[in-house]
Amino acid sequence: DIQMTQSPSTLSAAVGDRVTITCRASQSISRWLAWYQQKPGKAPNILIYKASTLESGVPSRFSGSGSGTEFTLTISSLQPDDFATYYCQQYDTYWTFGQGTKVEIK
């Protein structure tokens, strides 16, 4: 099984802050990685796929990078609508998710 580990688990930040979330895979997954945003009581929404490709309609303040085993999701200037939980998901071998990173208001 490929394990996905996100850090931090919780992140406190203010509007306007630059935020970075890390996702590490237990083995190389090339660039087969997606990022999702989930708000309370709602289903996840896709933000980024293939590590760095922004889904249509997603604000450009979101960006993704990485390959192999280490990936990052960056929000360049945190907006009120961005307070949510973020998940990475690998699709190299089967499909597994990270445990999530909750972005809270500081």
Partner 1 sequence: QLQLQESGPGLVKPSETLSLTCIVSGGSISSSSYYWGWIRQPPGKGLEWIGSIYYSGSTYYNPSLKSRVTTSVDTSKNQFSLKLTSVTAADTAVYYCGRHAIAEANRPNWFDPWGQGTLVTVST
| Amino acid identity at 92 | D
Rounded to a whole number of angstroms, the minimum distance from the CB of residue 1 to partner 1 is 7
Which region, judged by CB under 8 A, interacts with partner 1, from 10-18, 66-74, 75-83, 88-96? Answer: 88-96
- For the four alpha carbons of 58, 102, 44 and 70, in that order, the dihedral sign comes to positive
Residues 6+ apart with CB under 8 A from 59: 79
- Specify which residues 101 forms β-bridges with: 86
CB of 16 to partner 1, least distance (A): 28
CA 54 remoteness from chain centre:
12
Would you count residue 45 as binding partner 1 (CB under 8 A)?
A: yes
Does 2 interact with partner 1 (rule: CB under 8 A)?
no
Q: Footprint of partner 1 on this chain (CB under 8 A)?
A: 1, 32, 34, 42-46, 49-50, 55, 87, 89, 91, 94-100
